[in-house]
Amino acid sequence: FAWGTVAERILERLGADPALPALTAPADAAAEETARRRLDRLVREREEMGPVNLRAEVEVAELEEQIATIEREREEIGTAIARLRGSIGHLNREGRERLSAVFAEVDRHFQALFSRMFGGGRAHLALVGSDDPLVAGLEIFAQPPGKKLATLSLLSGGEQALTALSLIFAVFRCNPAPVSVLDEVDAPLDDANVERFCALLEDMVRETGTRFLVVTHHPLTMARMDRLYGVTMQERGVSRLLSVDLGAAVAMVEAPLLAAE
């Protein structure tokens, strides 16, 4: 009778016929207890599993499709990354080659202009801090006549101004701009150096075609310009812009002299 009770409970709780074989002899109490405990365990496990998901097969197929899509996208991204790294490497190589070529050209012009501005001496540019020109820093080494080779920071104010002008004009010779503004760059220069600066400025105009707008208070610089612009305040609170064509003024002065000759 014990096995019959177990079969009824299995049928009631699990909805399945255990199809127990016919017993030739009644089971003892220990076997019945073991079977009851096993049944209880199986029932608990079934309840813990929860309801049966009838869409499990469909969901598995959807997840497998998503996984396949992600794998394809991962491969595409990997290919794109490899292609991008190759492009970056090519650009870096080309950038290093171009920068090295331009640096050498600027340094060549800088050395020549420095000697011209100082009436002698020597100077050069150097890349410092790294062997890679794309990340290296720039250092200026200069040796004015009668002095030791030093970095730009150790030069006097006038020497720094002349050195900086030499570098600016060296860059202009490599890649001239149509217009350049120089704001009181002659302020720390003495008269002799102002004359050198103006002579170089005139040469740069002829060589590169650049038009220079020079903000200055130095009379020697003003005298070497083609045209002067100034602001006056003849009436309080009223500013007026004046323009003087020095070339035309010189022509007007020289015309009577030429006629007299």
φ, ψ of residue 126 in degrees (nearest 5):
-145, 140
pLDDT tens-digit readout, 7-30: 677 677 666 666 655 555 555 778
What digits encode the pLDDT tens for the residues 29-55?
A: 788 888 888 888 888 887 787 777 778
Please write the tens of the pLDDT for every residue from 99-123: 999 999 999 999 999 999 998 999 9
- Average pLDDT of the chain? 85
Q: What are phi and psi of 254, to 5 degrees?
A: -80, -20
Amino acid at 4: G
- What is residue 17's predicted lDDT score, i.e. its pLDDT? 64
What are the pLDDT digits (tens) for 133-175? 889 999 999 999 989 999 888 888 889 999 999 999 999 888 8
Q: Tokens 């070497």 appear where?
A: 224
Per-residue confidence at 70, pLDDT binned at 50, 70, 90?
A: very high
pLDDT in the model for residue 253 = 67
What is the pLDDT, as a whole number, of residue 244? Answer: 84
pLDDT given at position 1: 44
pLDDT at position 62: 93
